Amino acid sequence: MSNKVKAKFVYNSWSDNSCPYKLNTLLKVNNLKRSTYYDELKRIKNYKDKYKKVKEQIKIIFNRSKMTYGHRRMKCMLDKIGLHYCLETVRKLMKKLRLQPTMFNNRCMKKYSSYKGKVGKTHPNILSQSFKATMPYQILHTDITQLKLKNHTNGYISAVIDEGTKEILSIQVSSSPNQQLIYRTLKDLKNKIPTEFSPIMHSDQGWHYQLPYYTSELKKMNFKQSMSRKGNCLDNAPMESFFSLLKREYLNNFEIKNIEMLTKLTKDYLKFFNNQRISLKTKGMTPIEYRNHSIKNHLI
């Protein structure tokens, strides 16, 4: 035990009015000289934490991130407000503050499969796992995920993500993975895509995406349809990645009682994800910031 730690212990013990021992006794028991004790006490009282300001900001940023930021994204956020520290320093400060991002949890991670064989028209895999879009409205991904609710029913989430900006353009929640869920997703999406764009819409081979109404609707929206190979989730990795984040960073922290609660939580996370959550893949910007930045630069 260092002299500094001993001095702290002696001071705290002796300052306590209920302590029955005299100072000399405490010093002797802790093998600490009187002169050393006062020297250490003076240093402790004069100590100024040079990281006080950045530690306060780290705690604020971490809470605003819904406890999801690790040291890399934390450094990016600190740089934005003019607090420039190396990555290792940020990592050590977060460790000292005991701020660890939300860890992976298998709860509610049951994989939903909508594949029921060929029930309509399938389409070739245009992307072939080449996820290189950097501009908005070039390539979109869609899928459905399933969660087990507290009332012993299932909840289903249908979403569309922009590969280039990581923005969630549409998200819908339902107690059934039916055609109506997909219809609502597309209806919501219509208002988000400017008419001058003709993106690729990529999905798996789920029965919803093979039906004539879905293919017809995409044609009306001037979308080109692409599909993953059967049973290969890596072909739709951007969508799978978002669903993983949604569950791991947020939904798994709650005991979700019913579909109404799932809907509210999903909408809350959508607002955070699009407007507040930065990504290193989008140059430390939020999805909406990156979308606006990309369009502005492209037009220039």
pLDDT, tens digit, 9 for 90 and up, residues 163-194: 999 999 999 999 999 999 999 999 999 989 99
Both tokens assigned to 235 = 């072909």
Q: What is the pLDDT along the chain (300 residues), one digit of tens a residue?
A: 788 788 778 777 777 767 787 888 888 888 888 888 788 777 777 767 788 899 999 999 999 998 889 999 999 999 999 999 999 999 999 999 999 886 544 444 445 665 555 666 788 999 988 898 999 999 999 999 999 999 999 999 999 999 999 999 999 999 999 999 999 999 999 989 998 999 999 999 988 899 999 999 999 999 999 999 887 778 899 999 999 999 999 999 999 999 999 999 999 999 999 999 999 999 999 999 999 999 888 754
> Are 163 and 133 a contacting pair, CB within 8 Å?
yes
Both tokens assigned to 228 = 């993953």
Rg (C-alpha) for the chain, rounded Å, is 27
If you ran DSSP here, which 8-state letter would residue 251 be given? Answer: G
**DSSP three-state, residue 142:** strand
- How far is residue 112's CA from residue 144's CA, in Å, rounded to a whole number? 7
User: Torsion over CA of 86, 89, 93 and 96, rounded to 10 degrees?
Assistant: 160
Report the candidate in 131, 79, 141 with the shortest Cα–Cα distance to residue 285.
Answer: 79
Mean pLDDT of the chain: 88
> Are 210 and 122 a contacting pair, CB within 8 Å?
yes
HSE-CB at 288 with a 13 A cutoff on CA atoms is 10
Beta strands in the chain (DSSP E): 139-148, 154-162, 168-174, 200-203, 224-227
> Are 134 and 164 a contacting pair, CB within 8 Å?
yes
